[in-house]
């Protein structure tokens, strides 16, 4: 019993751990020189490039915003100064010389239509360049032909008379309702035809010319007698005002 280990009070830590040895520093591991320095320079160059790119992009955005604001203010000022009013379109006369389906092919429509328009520019300081005018004839929501109007310039407070001819033959697919309407029109001698006008116009403010606009004009429910302004039944074509839509 004499060689028994004595009772140990407190925690038992075991054998002591030697302190960590310091690794030898190499010459190129010293801060500020060698590889570390190269990494620092590369990081700085990348940061500068990113910073410059952000600055250039921000500058371009600011320039574009400033230009858009200036153009918007200029357009608003011009609008209040000149106050352009919508152009007024009228179909003042129409002659229908032929409008019938082919006897051998009931989808082949023969047509010969003359339309006269009166175009009024009510603006006092705004002139209008009509660069392109196309007139399309419709029956039962089906387009059957197109005619052109010669381009022209219209001055301030001016009224211009323009004419076009829509003639030829074309395959037109008419539904049951449209065919029934066509039979009624043939019996009455008066045809219900729609016309749509597509234009490319520019406005002139003093010496300033605007960019091109493409307004749309609808002349619906034109009741046109066959064989001229007066049919055998005594029906006379009446002037129709067209709807003008800038967009």
Residues 79 and 157 in one domain: no
Residues 210 and 168 in one domain: yes
Q: What angle do CA 38, 31, 47 make, to 5 degrees?
A: 40
Range 135-161 average pLDDT? 95
How many separate domains does the chain show?
A: 2
Range of the domain at 161: 88-245
Residue that finishes a domain, picked among 83, 108, 133: 83
Residues 136 and 211 in one domain: yes
Residues 78 and 134 in one domain: no
Residues 138 and 176 in one domain: yes
Residues 105 and 225 in one domain: yes
pLDDT band at residue 6 using 50, 70 and 90 as cut-offs: low
Of 192 and 227, the structure prediction assigns the larger pLDDT to 192
Residues 141 and 218 in one domain: yes
Residues 214 and 173 in one domain: yes
What pLDDT, on the 0 to 100 scale, is given for residue 245? 84
Is residue 212 situated within a structural domain?
Answer: yes
User: What is the pTM (predicted TM-score) of this model?
Assistant: 0.66
Residues 67 and 99 in one domain: no
Residues 142 and 211 in one domain: yes
* Owner of token pair 């175009």: 119
Is residue 29 situated within a structural domain?
Answer: no
pLDDT band at residue 32 using 50, 70 and 90 as cut-offs: very low
Residues 107 and 221 in one domain: yes
Residues 58 and 139 in one domain: no
Tell which residue, 166, 130, 168, 167, has the closest CA to residue 150.
130
């Amino acid at each position: 019993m004499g060689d028994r280990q004595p009772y140990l009070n407190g925690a038992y830590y075991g054998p002591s751990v030697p302190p960590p040895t310091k690794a030898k520093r190499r010459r190129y591991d010293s801060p500020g020189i060698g590889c570390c320095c190269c990494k620092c320079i590369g990081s700085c160059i990348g940061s500068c490039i990113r910073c410059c790119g952000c600055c250039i992009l921000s500058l371009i955005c600011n320039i574009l915003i400033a230009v858009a604001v200036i153009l918007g203010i200029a357009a608003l000022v011009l609008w209040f100064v000149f106050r352009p009013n919508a152009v007024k379109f009228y179909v003042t006369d129409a002659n229908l010389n032929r409008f019938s389906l082919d006897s051998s092919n009931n989808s082949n429509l023969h047509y010969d239509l003359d339309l006269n328009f009166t175009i009024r520019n009510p603006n006092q300081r705004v002139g209008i360049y009509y660069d392109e005018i196309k007139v399309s004839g419709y029956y039962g929501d089906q387009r059957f032909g197109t005619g052109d109007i010669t381009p022209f310039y219209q001055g301030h407070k001016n009224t211009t008379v323009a004419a076009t001819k829509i003639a030829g033959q074309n395959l037109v697919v008419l539904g049951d309702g449209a065919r029934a309407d066509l039979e009624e029109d043939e019996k009455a001698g008066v045809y219900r035809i729609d016309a749509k006008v597509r234009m490319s116009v520019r406005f002139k403010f003093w010496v300033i010319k605007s960019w091109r606009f493409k307004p749309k004009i609808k002349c619906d429910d034109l009741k046109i007698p066959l064989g001229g302004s007066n049919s055998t039944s005594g029906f006379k074509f009446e002037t129709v005002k067209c709807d003008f839509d800038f967009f």
